[in-house]
Structure 1
Amino acid sequence: MRGTKSIQRIRLLSLFTLIGSIMLAGCTVNSNDRVPTPNMGVNPYRVNTGYLLRNAVERGTLRIATERDYPPFSYHGTGGRLTGFDVEVAEEVARHMELKAEFVETEWKNLLPGLTEGKYDAVFNQIEDRPDRRALYDFSVAYLSSTPVLLVRSDEDQVRTFPDIKGKRVGLNPTGTYNDIAKKHGAIIVPVKYIYDAARMLARSELDAIISDPLSVTNLKQQFPDMPVTTVQSANQAFEVSAAFVKGNPDLVAAVDNALATMQQDGTYLTIWNKYFGDAPSSYKGIHDRKNK
């Protein structure tokens, strides 16, 4: 009888295991869904995902990375205080989440790797939501959209379109989309970090053109209205800028999305926009509308 009971127990245990496996299999969701499983998508790295929002609430702070050296989006202003469009948006996101923004300043090349290393909770720094980045990162709804533009001197008549920059000296921040466009059209790339410096070089004929974004150009014109530069073409491509997070924290992504939507509804976002760029954002379609598509 003892042997029979043991066999029965083994059979029952096997049955329960099988049932449990079937139930778990039935609960499996599509891999495209955001599910807070430990280390989802970042197993080779050192971060333990799935708890970032809870930890932020316990600390009372949202840890936000930014480049610190990319005006007008993130830079040190009067008195050395960190400021900029992305910085102020991030501050308001944290405030709407009833948290305090805790900024971590770093270089561009370290922004996304720092997420997977657990150094901070989010990145607000003109990060483009691209398919090749979604293997490791999740993104908020877009908080602005933009497109590359071509600037030349006001009296320039040889460079009017992107194909015209072949063999020409083109100033740009040598990362990402702008660099790709210049290479595609055979330009001589001149790395210039700040659009203000590039505009001065263009005015002195040290450059033939600049590739930048319309928001930086708008900010440039606000500060230097007499700068003899003009936009001659916009690229036929647009990119959306979002906050970035390490995968596995859907509650944090949702909380930031909700904060951004609330900011669009209560006018906070527009107040920040007007401070840096003037008129209402014509390229911005509305966070709330995008969220509910």
Structure 2
Amino acid sequence: MKKLILSAAFAALAAGGALAQDTVRIATEGAYPPFNFINDAGKPDGFEVELFTSLCEAAELTCEWVTTDWDSIIPNLQSGNYDAIAAGMSITEERKAVIDFTQAYYPATFSAYAAPSADADLSGVVAAQVNTIQAAHVAETDATLLEFATPDEAVAAVRNGEADAVFADNDFLKPVVDESNGEFVWAGEQIQLGEGIGLGIRKSDTELKAKFDAAIQTVKDDGTLNELLKKWFGADSVTF
């Protein structure tokens, strides 16, 4: 049944003719579970990988996954090293100035602080991943922002005493808090940022954007996308 639904999704993607390229290269970071990560077999995995791999298979498209550092992920898209970005990337006005996005395949949700204690000094030193909406938010507060290349490094900065708290997507931090045996707890209030997460695409690739937009809308309408959100983020996940 699910294959039929996904096939319907990419019937919309296939409408209007074949894509200009034979292979669609999708970049991800591979370091932001459960959105994307590298599994025990050394392959990209996670919510985004399952979603877009399934859509590509249903459309009989050849889609290849490319892993790249977060800090260079947009410049490499602009340089033509791949065709799209599926890497937990929030849709923001700043990013829309340089690349396009499909409609959101992950709803606008909340970011949160995690720290060794609930009364941690959130105006002290706060760690965040570089070039994220979380880092931009911290930079606008009274806190001292300490940026890192990966979210895991931002978490580690709190563990080793470099930072008072880490600020990241709630869904990324939830397993960090839940599995820390009290080493991390939630601090402060959750904050809603961004416009949701979309597939990043070059501004010139209007055909590719339109086709993925149609496919994402189809899996929203039939409930398949919500099923995947609950699978990867839990039964109480924010859905469409």
TM-score, normalization: structure 2?
Answer: 0.77
RMSD: 2.9
Q: 1:242 to 1:209 in 2, by over 3 A?
A: same
Other-structure match for 1:55? 20
Match of 2:15 in 1: none
CA distance in 1, matches of 2:65, 2:201: 15
Contact 2:130 2:150 in 1 (8 A): no
Please state if 1:186 is matched with 2:186. Answer: no
Number of residue pairs matched? 223
Q: Which residue of 2 aligns with 1:33?
A: none
Taking the TM superposition and a 5 Å limit, the aligned residue runs for 1:224-243 are 224=180, 226-235=182-191, 237-243=193-199
Aligned to 2:210: 254
CA shift at 1:256, angstroms? 0.7
- Which amino acid counterpart does residue 111 of structure 2 have in structure 1? P
- Superposed, 1:150-189 pairs within 5 Å as 150-154=113-117, 156-157=118-119, 159=121, 164-165=122-123, 168-189=124-145
Quote the residue 2:165 is aligned against.
209
Matched to 1:173, the amino acid is Q
Amino acid at match of 1:181: H
| Structure-2 separation of matches of 1:100 and 1:225 | 43
Contact 1:96 1:259 in 2 (8 A): no
2:61 corresponds to: 99
Shift of 1:212: 0.9
User: In the TM superposition, what whole-angstrom CA distance separates every residue of 1:230-255 from its partner, at most 9, and x where no partner exists?
Assistant: 14212254432110111233332121
Q: Check the 8 A contact 2:116/2:165 in 1, yes or no.
A: yes
Percent identical: 25
The answer to whether the 8 Å contact 2:133/2:194 transfers is no
The one-letter amino acid paired with 1:152 is A
**Closer, same or farther: CA 134–237 of 1 in aligned 2, 3 Å:** closer
Point out 4+ residue stretches in structure 1 off by more than 6 angstroms.
Answer: none
CA contact 1:97–1:259 (8 Å) conserved in 2: no
Higher RCO, Cα 8 Å, sep 6+: 2
Q: Which amino acid aligns with 2:20?
A: N
Give the 3-state SS of the residue equivalent to 2:186 in structure 1: strand
User: CA 1:260–1:62 in structure 2 vs 1: closer, same or farther (change >3 Å)?
Assistant: same
8 Å CA contact 1:72, 1:219 repeated in 2:
no
User: What SS is found at the alignment partner of 1:248?
Assistant: coil
Query: Which of these two proteins has the greater Rg computed from alpha carbons?
Result: 1
Q: Whole-Å Cα distance in 2 between the matches of residues 235 and 174 of structure 1?
A: 18
**Letter paired with 1:215:** D
Aligned twin of 1:18: none
Matching residue of 2:46: 84
Match of 1:143 in 2: 105
Give the match's secondary structure for 1:262: helix
Structure 2, unmatched stretches of 5+, are: 1-17
Secondary structure in 1 aligned to 2:200?
Answer: strand
Distance in 2 of aligned mates of 1:103 and 1:215: 23
Is residue 2:32 matched to residue 1:67? no
Tell me what 2:96 maps to: 134
| Aligned counterpart in structure 1 of residue 229 of structure 2, from 265, 269, 273 | 273
| TM norm structure 1 | 0.65
Higher helix share: 1
Q: Secondary structure, in 3 states, of the residue corresponding to 1:189? A: strand
Q: Which of 78, 84, 88 does residue 122 from structure 1 map onto? A: 84
Provide structure 1 residue ranges, at least 5 long, that are not aligned to the other structure: 1-52, 287-293
The separation in 1 between residues aligned to 2:223 and 2:178, in whole angstroms, is 22
1:88 Cα deviation after fit:
2.0
Q: SS of the counterpart of 1:78?
A: coil
